[in-house]
Amino acid sequence: MREKTLICVVGPTAIGKTAVGVRLATHFDTVVLSADSRQLYREMNIGTAKPSKDELAAIQHYFIDSHSITDDYSAGDFERDALKQLEDLFSRHDIVVLVGGSGLFVNAVCQGLDDLPKPLAGVREQLNAAYRRRGLEYLQHLLKQVDPFYYSEVDIHNPQRVIRALEVYESTGVPFSHFRRKQVAKRPFKVLKIGLNMDRECLYQRINARVDAMMEAGLLEEVESLLPYRYKLPLQTVGYAELFDHLDGEYTLPQAVEKIKQHTRRYAKRQLTWFRKDAETKWFEPGDMVQIADYIASRVQPGNRI
């Protein structure tokens, strides 16, 4: 049997992962599996920078618009569903391209997640209520007290991650970090990780320009349409949370837009910190398509090359 290879394209937001993924999928005559924790929601379109209609028409994508914002969907759910999807895809393709900036979703597919205990009924609802009433900073303080080790490495600006860790602690009395996986799960496919990066100032200019383009495309109207679901955790993220605050009168619209740009730049920095921890990732600039394709071709079985 030919070796099966999952090519993972990772990196910070606005770096151009989608375009590179489409070009690789075209080059290797394959498909794209999205590992983005927000693009899977049908109702979140403009603020999540989904692939364009042309990109979706050119290459089959999976886990784009696959769920509703009303669904509770975790990284563990994604691990299960993505592995099942890959089993089917690898029956027809020797190479599949995975694209995503959500580090936890990428890790779920490539190395597996922790086998966490089942939370007690009602704990998640209590934490969500505390988040709405007292804000993320309060939950961050709680996490720092009960699990300083995990606090030091988690994206503390992501309410889903903070609440999940506290949910485990409140249910078991044991810090979340205690349950962290010691060994990487074995997968029936090879993983090649391609990291994308560029000059920091150039990336920040791309981020700012993309936020402006999102606003012109109707991001505010999209956020207004999602007001009934504003306390769903996927909407407590950059690009949505700031505009909800604007609608509450906390910021003027220009101030909210500037906040989105600022928070997106910080998020990109955290993404790079996460992905740089993986020594197996080979880094390129988004325009280095020839070098990227050559690197991949040199590491797959000869029968898999184009």
Binding-site residue ranges for ATP: 11-18
Tokens of 151: 């606090």
Sheet of 5-10, strands arranged across: 61-62, 32-34, 95-99, 5-10, 190-196, 281-284
Burial of 42 (0-12, 13-18, 19+ CB in 10 A): middle
Pinpoint the alpha helices (H) of the chain: 17-27, 53-58, 75-89, 103-110, 123-134, 136-146, 148-153, 159-172, 200-217, 219-225, 241-247, 253-276, 289-297
Q: How far is 90 from 55, CA to CA, in rounded Å?
A: 22
Q: How far is 244 from 264, CA to CA, in rounded Å?
A: 16
Cα distances from 61 to residues 50, 78, 137, 179, in angstroms, run: 11, 15, 36, 33
Cα distances from 265 to residues 155, 201, 206, 271, 272, in angstroms, run: 14, 10, 10, 10, 11
Binding residues for substrate: 13-18
